Amino acid sequence: MLKNAKTGIICCHGCFGYSSQFGRIEYKLIKEGYKVFNFSYTSPSQSIEYSSNLLMKFLLERYDNKNNLKFIWKEELSALGKTLIYMDKNLNKLVKKKVERNEILQERNEQEKMRLQQMSDVVIDNFHFISHSMGSLVVRKFLINVLQEMSLKDNELQPESENRINPVCDILKNQSEIKFIQISPLLGGRSEFARKLKFLYPVLPYVVRNNEKGKETCVEELMNDTLFNDKYQEDFWWNENSDFQQKLHLYDIVTSNPIVFNPFLERPNDLVLTEKEQMESRPNYILPKKVFKINSTHNYVLFKKEVLETISNILKQ
């Protein structure tokens, strides 16, 4: 472990989600000393495979390769996360009547300089993941891509000119444990809700932009049920003999609410996914380290204190 190194937490939202949904989670994790990389992407406008490739690009863009001895990273927060952290640092001063405006501005500038300095000089020696909903598929596809790249490098199949160092792969390869917290996960790549909304398919091109011409967006993939095929396990789950099988530990936070009603879904559900969709369709050899069942709706779960504490405890273990 590198001296003064930090743990990086990679957050990935789901379909039609946004990075600020992780705002309260970011705030808590940063106060506990973690460095957060909150991935924001136009989820409904592209395939899951495309989004997983963008996740790798997102991380590599925050890597400073000027220093060949350390992995220097630039933290990435959502707008809500930045606001919560700023308010926490400044609220007490702002409510004092006798504090001069110039003093507040000067203090704010000094804090911003310190924050930028901290962001530009972060040494990361391990990563963990938190996903929500369809983000589970994006992260798992990302991890499969990492395994493939690690395998190519180990077998020296890449041409020498292309055999460049990928710091993300190197960090994940050298970690002894990777924690992956899946919140309300779309585990099997099948969404009953999406399939029953297929009558809206003809209007999708008018309301959802497609970033990959000629390919299905993730919304179309879910409506057409094209993800769950003969290659699903190969595309979204690691092999039984892979390095990840031993060190990648899954923690599933499953949500449902007995009060809410969605006419398209069987109960129990969280308004978007059934409890069954969050727990089934995984290979027999992949078992979660622990499953937490939370009484919540699909999106509100990200703001619940119970979930914040659960995430914190998992990462501290």
Q: How many CA atoms lie within 13 A of 13 on its CB side?
A: 23
Radius of gyration of the chain (CA): 21
Residue labelled with tokens 């969605």 = 262
Angle between helices 101-119 and 79-94 (to 10 degrees): 140
Residue 209: pLDDT band with limits 50, 70, 90: confident
**255: nearest Cα among 310, 304, 292, 290:** 292
Backbone angles phi, psi at 268, to 5 degrees: -80, 145
The chain-wide mean pLDDT, for the chain, equals 84
Mean pLDDT of 33-55: 93
Q: Pick from 11-15, 59-63, 94-98, 150-154 the range whose average pLDDT is largest.
A: 11-15
Ranges 139-148, 189-198, 227-236: which has the least confidence: 227-236
160 has a pLDDT exceeding 60: no
114 has a pLDDT exceeding 70: no
Cα 11 to Cα 110, 224, 297: the distances in Å are 28, 27, 19
- Tell me the DSSP string of 26-57: HHHHHHTT-EEEEE---GGGS-HHHHHHHHHH
Ranges 27-36, 71-80, 133-142, 210-219: which has the least confidence: 71-80
Residue 108: pLDDT band with limits 50, 70, 90: low
Residue labelled with tokens 């640092």 = 89
pLDDT for residue 206: 83
More confident residue, 291 or 234: 291
More confident residue, 56 or 62: 56
3 has a pLDDT exceeding 90: no
Q: Please tell me the chain's helix, strand, coil percentages from 3-state DSSP, rounded to the nearest 5.
A: 45, 15, 40
Residue 80: pLDDT band with limits 50, 70, 90: confident
pLDDT digits 0-9 by tens, 130-143: 999 999 999 999 99
What is the three-class DSSP state of 200? Answer: helix
